[in-house]
Amino acid sequence: MSSSSTIGSALAALTASGRAESRLAFGCDYNPEQWDPSVWAEDIRLMREAGVTIVAINVFGWAQIQPRPDVFDFSGLDAIIELLHEAGIGINLGTGTASPPPWLSTKHPEILPVDADGVRAWPGGRQAYCPSSPVFRAAAQRLATEVVTRYGSHPAVQLWHVSNELGCHNAHCYCDVSASAFRDWLRAKYGTVDALNTAWGTTFWSQRYGAWEEVLPPRHTLSAGNPAQALDFARFSSDEVLECYRMEERIIRRLSSVPVTTNFMVTAHIRNQDYWQWAPYMDVIANDHYLDHRLPDPHQELSFAADATRGLAGGDPWLLMEQATGAVNWQPRNITKVPGELMRNTFAHVARGADGVCFFQWRASAQGTEKFHSALLPHAGTDSRKWQEVLELSRALGSVRELAGTRVVADVALVFSWEAWWATDLDSHPSEELRYLEQVHAAYRALWEAGITVDIVRPGADLSAYRTVVAPSLYLVRDDEVKAVTDFVAGGGTAVITFFSGIVDQDDRVRLGGYPGAFTNLLGLHVDEFFPLAAGGSVTLDDGATGTVWSEHIVPGAADVVATYADGPLPGSPAVTRNTFGGGSAWYVGTALDRPHLSGLLARAAQEAGVDVPADHGDGVEQVLRRGPDADYRFYINHSDETRPARAAGLELLTGAAVDGLELPPGAVRVVKTKREE
């Protein structure tokens, strides 16, 4: 397992951080097997022109390097590796196991995954395998062993890229092999069927199990199924896919000393991997991020994902393994980036701790599913705006090379949990409009708009470095996680907790005695009934705020009432409260507040806790601070259409100009370095 300090040092090998030649990694996925070898020389020449330092290859190489069950052919890969090596370009080498070739699924159709209705997927796309399949695992193990044996000591190989976006398409398989693996997992967790019955509450609805053989994955049922079963299946599925990674990781650690990682998907639309459990096995934390135009504010979600990735890296720098220069091809409408947006997106990642920025992919495909996905080199070739932007971006990253190894500064923590996400979004809850990630994003956006940088932390994390912690809709919470927040407040910290938090324990069992069970004492109140709002409904608070989605009957104890409902089902009842607890305070928000009011409330709570909230916030300028041993680096990213002033003094790294006060043109990015006097 890697500690966070080894994450930093593994990445430092790619960025040479802290040394005179330090740089930020810049690169892409490179899929040369799509092209005639005559194209490769031009690829390498243009990669050098663009300042590419690292490329991911062999990610989907399986069918090329093992064309038949007992035939390995490394000639193409050897040639590419040598070309890259000669050009001084580092390699992020795929183990090649991401997508089984047709011969494997033809010979062993039982490796194909099965959905909750019992329908087996066909091959023909990618990642079509059951993560628990011993046949798939043996084949992947064999391939990985061949690849690592052959290239494990090659001087150009800087990073191992295990598989690809593990669990992107196949996180949940319901086949009989998965069922058996699920039972093994449950047996290891509970020991006895009786213990499982207790945890799952199977006395209700006549679901009691008499033997392990009766236990199944949560396949499609007529009515809603058992929620604790669904929750355990989500945990099992995350563990099972992690085990696919670990199987390859063990091979790599035995045969090579090059750092190992895989690309995470900390995004808005994929929630199947509990990356808090995965992170310790990575030498470098790497994320893939694509703007999601189905969301109201894609660039704010980008910032959230970047902060969450840094959280997974324990605050250390991390690697953006994939993003797009323009449009993707897998959303309903694939919106490209307007001029300047690529620079803003990239610098938002860098501001939030990325020490390397890579793209999918090098050259836009002429064929196949992703031919309309943008790339560094578009279909139009170098005679294109995109190519000029890529060159400009590469130059800009060169001018901030000294950032490598520096760390983001944040006084506020936001608690985020994949497990709580799965649990909150289970069926049969008070309102289908309460979706965990939406509430997390709402809190994050409110902090973003208040100009407050946050660290995203796991529940139960040590909070002592922070002044304020925000826990949005933390429905499922374990006792030790409750204690972490309670101790933090008792010791002088400020917590802001929002509705539908603290409701159940790890088995999805309601904490009795009034909601929000786990936090009633800390918050100095209890809730005796939920009053979710009708679809599209809203309530007004006496301070003018609007609430949507949710309301509830709060009975204050020690807590002070900050705002009450002016209308709706609970006029005159508390909507927002604040409790003094030990040396600190605990705020509670009982409805989904509108953006400006949530932002104002979080800014007020943070400010009262001593957080430095920028006075000029709320103008669409993203501000983040990275700190090095002897200098501070302040990022300003103007997302607005107006010129914005900023009070910054120092050396602006992108223009090389000394500044005393900034005028930020619309869309501009600036990084101001200030020497620190110790």
Residues tagged in the binding site annotation for substrate: 126, 164, 330
Return the HEC string of 191-239: CCHHHHHHHHCCCHHHCCCCCHHHCCCCCCCCCCCCHHHHHHHHHHHHH
Q: Does 290 bind ligand GLA (CB under 6 A)?
A: yes
Q: Which is nearer to ligand GLA, 266 or 410 (CB)?
A: 266
Q: Could you confirm whether 165 is annotated as catalytic? A: yes
Residue 541 CB partners (closer than 8 Å, separation 6+) = 547, 563, 564, 565, 566, 575, 576, 591, 593, 597
Task: Report the residue number, 307 or 322, with the smaller CB distance to ligand GLA.
Answer: 322
CA-to-CA distance for 413 and 611, rounded, in angstroms? Answer: 11
Residue (267 or 424) nearer to ligand GLA, CB: 267
The site that binds ligand GLA (CB under 6 A) totals a number of residues, namely: 9
CB of 322 to ligand GLA, least distance (A): 5
Task: Please tell me whether residue 28 binds ligand GLA under the rule CB under 6 A.
Answer: no
Q: Is 30 in the site for ligand GLA (CB under 6 A)?
A: no
Taking the least distance from each CB to ligand GLA, the nearer of 306 and 328 is 328
In angstroms, give the least distance from the CB of 200 to ligand GLA: 35
Q: Does residue 21 carry a catalytic annotation? A: no
Q: Is 373 in the site for ligand GLA (CB under 6 A)?
A: yes
Based on the shown chain and the rule CB under 6 A, indicate whether residue 164 belongs to the binding site for ligand GLA: yes
**Measured distance between the N- and C-terminal CA atoms of the chain, rounded to whole angstroms:** 35
CB 321 within 8 A of CB 277: no
What x-and-dash track marks residues 118-157 binding ligand GLA by CB under 6 A? ----------------------------------------
Phi, psi of 662 (to 5 degrees): -120, 145
Closer to ligand GLA by Cβ: residue 264 or 530: 264
SS3 category, 322: strand
Q: Which of 146, 370, 507, 543 binds ligand GLA (CB under 6 A)?
A: 370
* Residue 288 in contact with ligand GLA, rule: CB under 6 A: yes
Binding to ligand GLA (CB under 6 A) within 224-283 occurs at none
The residue (of 165 and 355) whose beta carbon lies closer to ligand GLA is: 165
Beta carbon of residue 373, minimum distance to ligand GLA (angstroms, whole number): 5
Please report whether residue 360 would count as binding ligand GLA according to CB under 6 A: yes
CA angle 273, 277, 280 (to 5 degrees): 125
Nearest distance from C-beta of residue 60 to ligand GLA, angstroms: 7
Q: How far is the CB of 323 from ligand GLA (least distance, A)?
A: 9
Instruction: From 111, 108, 98, 106, select the one nearest 65 (Cα to Cα).
Output: 98
Which of residues 274, 322, 402, 411 is near ligand GLA by CB under 6 A? 322
What gap in Å lies between CA 269 and CA 601, rounded to an integer?
A: 28
CA distance 356 to 55: 12
Question: Which residue's structure tokens are 């309670």?
Answer: 486
Shortest gap between Cβ of 62 and ligand GLA (angstroms)?
13
CB-count burial class (<10 Å; 0-12, 13-18, 19+) for 165: buried
Which of 322, 449, 622, 652 is flagged as catalytic?
Answer: 322
Cα–Cα nearest to 200, from 185, 188, 190: 190
Residue from 46, 228, 328, 559 binding ligand GLA (CB under 6 A): 328
Question: For residues 195 and 183, is the Cβ–Cβ distance under 8 A?
Answer: no
- Please give the residue ranges that form the binding site for ligand GLA (CB under 6 A): 164-165, 288, 290, 322, 328, 360, 370, 373
- Catalytic residues, by residue number, are 165, 322
